[in-house]
Chain A
């Protein structure tokens, strides 16, 4: 299923990548960094990416999603760790350690196959 929530993000990203892409060369890979707070699904982002770039100059480029996980801090035992989900119990028995995550949504890099002049 194409995640409609990811679709508008992919559209904004495609416009941004087209602005940055050098005239000579082909965009091979697009790297983004996404905070877990955004709740975006990497797989849905990649499928949306394929759909919005289809038939454009950046078609076939790979979207590489660096999903930054939740960080969980237990106030009972002092342990901190990362988790893909916010609500997790601690091994020490504390049922509700504190989850924090970022909401960043950044274009981090483009990888370009340059054409020989």
Chain B
């Protein structure tokens, strides 16, 4: 497990949430649940953040703001849409001012449905997000490899037989390649 996974700093942004999901997200960040145990820090600064938690559906006015926050975050970064509104637009989907979920503005990595999103779902989503964060970090590190050294993404058929997900197998392959190139110790 690399350090990226041990120290995810969170940025929370409220698109047009009804505040139900916000309260869930913020409650999970209170000292009571002590997320600092996992190295999670709630930072108000996109330039320091690794995880981007967005709640609520997106309307015209929010698109540039969300894009700007997203652009200001450094790779590797992961976007988590919290609540069904952030996933698809939810109950507000048909409103004249609503464009839809967060993915109308920026690419979303993990969708955490629920109205409001349950703490369990949120935790699952963050755990899922950390896996993606690690994958993105490996890909970023792999940019320094020569194309010949880069392993090909395994096909789904190969991997399902061995009882391993494609993403996990690929991550391992990249990590191995980096190790042989002497760029990273295990």
Tell whether A and B belong to one assembly.
Answer: no
Chain B residues at the A interface, C-beta cutoff of 8 Å: none
